[in-house]
Amino acid sequence: MKTNSYSWLHVSVFVLKNNWHLAIKGVIQPFIKYHFEKGDFLTYKLTFDHGSAENISLSLLVPDKKEGVVAQSLDQSLKSFFKEEGFSAILNSKQNNTLFMPPLTNSVQYKLCPAFVNPEIKHLQILEQTFSNLMIDVFAEELVDDEMILTFSLYILFDCYKLVCATDHSSGDKWQMYYQHQASYLKTIEFSDQPLQEEIVSMEAAVNEIYLDISNTVMLNDLNWISKWEDVFGKIWEEEYNRNREILFFSEINLIITQQLNLNIGYQLLLSTFVNNTISKHRVSAK
């Protein structure tokens, strides 16, 4: 019996960050819904890139002989989107002083890579796809900015902590310790200590509110995307916990969030500090 082989189709949609929500809602969301339900790809992953050539990257695990059909469908959708929005291919203001010719804003690039489907990392692909779904649900509705990305990340991380503690409170200790160590390590790389302290103080109340939201059942009912994450994370966490892989699993979750949201060292440090400080504060007050 012949088995399917697969390739990764990587698509980079170069569009300005303040138009990401339009591209997600107008093209990526309906494209994934239609083609995934048809079985045109096995899994998918969405990634942001905040660099000078701002773009959204979509990676699709496509069966052989379907790459052309899938790429053509997405290409037609994107071209129609650019035309309808009046977006022409240009160099943005961040790209004018670069040495080499960068990709034009409002353009698309495609890359095809061989893929080996490894059953050992199946849980990672499930988590990456689920996280991609959350990104689509949340970022399709509002203008994407740094504060929104940080807020989204904190909701996910505090929710993970809640689910981890529900299994075993000592695992909650390990979760906090992981982010305490992360913050300590990242401080050795990121030297802008004063701006960091100012941002921590200015956002402390808002971060505390996010933490409280996660334990508020009524509030969570308004965040439908959180329940999608809980369903998937909960099942995989239980399996990883039973295999004594807690710390490794925590690092995998952290990597998914930081990579797919493309968080720089400064924001990773901010995130780790908020998680550690907030959990510490509430644990002390609970005693």
How far apart (Å, rounded) are the C-alpha atoms in residues 221 and 4?
Answer: 40
| Type of residue at 91 | L
pLDDT of residue 1: 37
Residues 97 and 202 in one domain: no
Q: What is the domain range of residue 210?
A: 145-286
Per-residue confidence band for 286, with pLDDT thresholds at 50, 70 and 90: low
**Domain membership flag for residue 207:** yes
Contact (Cβ atoms closer than 8 angstroms) between residue 230 and residue 163: yes
Total tally of structural domains belonging to the chain? 2
Q: What is the mean pLDDT of the chain?
A: 88
> Is residue 138 in a domain?
no
**Cα separations in angstroms, 275 against 5, 172, 255, 271:** 41, 12, 15, 6
Tens digits of residue pLDDT in 22-53: 999 999 999 999 999 999 999 999 999 998 78
pLDDT confidence bin for 79, thresholds 50/70/90: very high
Quick one: 113 and 59 in the same domain? yes
233 shares its domain with 201:
yes
Q: Which pLDDT does position 192 carry in this prediction? A: 59
Residue 246 tokens read as 């807690």
Task: Please give the angle made by the CA atoms of 79, 85 and 87, to the nearest 5 degrees.
Answer: 70
Q: Are residues 209 and 165 in the same domain?
A: yes
Instruction: Look up tokens 């052309």; give the residue.
Output: 68
State whether 261 and 157 are in the same domain: yes
What is the model's pLDDT at position 117?
62
Strand order in the sheet with 44-49: 44-49, 55-63, 6-14, 107-115
Contact partners, residue 194, CB within 8 Å, separation at least 6:
none
262 and 198 in a single domain? The answer is yes
The per-residue pLDDT for 92 is: 65
Q: Which residues pair with 114 in a beta bridge?
A: 7
Q: pLDDT per residue over 211-249, tens digit each?
A: 999 988 777 777 889 999 999 999 999 988 888 889 999
Task: Indicate whether 157 and 274 sit together in one domain.
Answer: yes
Confidence class of residue 2 from pLDDT cuts 50, 70 and 90?
very low
102 and 224 inside one domain = no
Counting residues of the chain whose pLDDT is more than 90, the rounded percentage is 67
CATH of the domain at 22: 3.30.70.100
Task: Check pLDDT > 80 for residue 149.
Answer: yes
E strand or H helix at 44, and its extent? strand 44-49
Same domain, 153 and 109: no
CA–CA separation, 29 and 220 (whole Å): 23
pLDDT, one tens digit per residue, over 159-186 is 999 999 998 889 999 999 999 999 999 8
Both 11 and 105 in one domain: the answer is yes
Provide the pLDDT for residue 116. 66
The pLDDT score that the predictor gives to residue 205 is 92
Q: What percent of the chain has pLDDT over 70?
A: 89
171 shares a domain with 104 = no
Amino acid 148: pLDDT: 94
**Is residue 193 over pLDDT 90?**
no
Q: Looking at the predicted structure, is the pLDDT value of residue 285 above 80? A: no
Structure tokens at 127: 């988590």
Report the alpha-carbon angle 26-22-36, nearest 5: 40
Q: Is the pLDDT of residue 201 over 70?
A: yes
130: in domain: no
Residues 41, 85, single domain; the answer is yes
